[in-house]
Chains A and B, each alone.
Chain A
Amino acid sequence: GNSVTQMEGPVTLSEEAFLTINCTYTATGYPSLFWYVQYPGEGLQLLLKATKADDKGSNKGFEATYRKETTSFHLEKGSVQVSDSAVYFCALFSGGYNKLIFGAGTRLAVHP
């Protein structure tokens, strides 16, 4: 069945460091891929998405590229800020299954 695997956290970085959070998926067909973020005390928010192979989603300095050949959708940011501290979830949506399938989440802590 469809599944998402993302790197375990927590990830601890200093401000202005480079961030990568790995995400790989298993899916039939051609799913859409998403990164959601959950800030402390808040609900899930869409961070970015990509709906077909080689698409790059971007938002707030974060980027992720849909790599069909490696079934990956790694999240990157060139220079993290303390305000980026949150839990990040990779997810896929396959129309045949009509639901988002999430990874377990990766907690990011950024220190000044």
Chain B
Amino acid sequence: GAGVSQTPSNKVTEKGKYVELRCDPISGHTALYWYRQSLGQGPEFLIYFQGTGAADDSGLPNDRFFAVRPEGSVSTLKIQRTERGDSAVYLCASSLQAQDTDTQYFGPGTRLTVL
């Protein structure tokens, strides 16, 4: 079946611009996660959705970052006033639920470059 998809695969923007990154999870998965991976590092948690609601947004670095999942499926990560330090690969993952035995399936990521 179809896996997690993310668009765009690459995004180059200028400092100060607004960007949106999209994630389409596996059908039927209620839990959706966003992570950020900097070069040479492991992914770091940003936000977790259970259904439509953000159950844990403790990983968002500041209020320039926001994410939505209005219908409990597709999610959009929004970054305002981008900074060069926001450059990274943004990963989306989904799982059937959010139990500790559930496997998270990752998308290919969006590579964001802020010039």
Using a CB–CB distance below 8 Å, which chain A residues touch chain B? 4, 31-32, 34, 36, 42-46, 49, 51, 89, 91, 93-95, 97-105
> Do B103 and A100 have beta carbons less than 8 Å apart?
no
Which of B17-25, B35-43, B65-73, B80-88 lies at the binding interface? B35-43
**Tally of A-B Cβ pairs under 8 angstroms:** 59
Query: Which of A4, A44, A49 has most chain B Cβ within 10 Å?
Result: A44
> Do A51 and B101 have beta carbons less than 8 Å apart?
yes
5 nearest interchain CB pairs?
A: A102-B42, A99-B45, A44-B106, A43-B108, A95-B100
> Do A95 and B104 have beta carbons less than 8 Å apart?
no
> Do A32 and B91 have beta carbons less than 8 Å apart?
no
Considering only CB atoms, which chain A residue lies closest to B47 in the complex?
A99
Considering only CB atoms, which chain A residue lies closest to B89 in the complex?
A43
Q: How far is the CB of B49 from chain A (nearest CB, A)?
A: 10
**What B residues does A51 contact at CB under 8 A?**
100-101
Once the chains are docked, how many angstroms separate the CA of A4 from the CA of B43?
A: 12
List 11 additional A-B contacts (Cβ < 8 Å) besides A34-B103, A105-B42. A31-B100, A43-B91, A46-B105, A89-B42, A91-B42, A93-B100, A97-B56, A98-B55, A98-B98, A100-B45, A105-B41
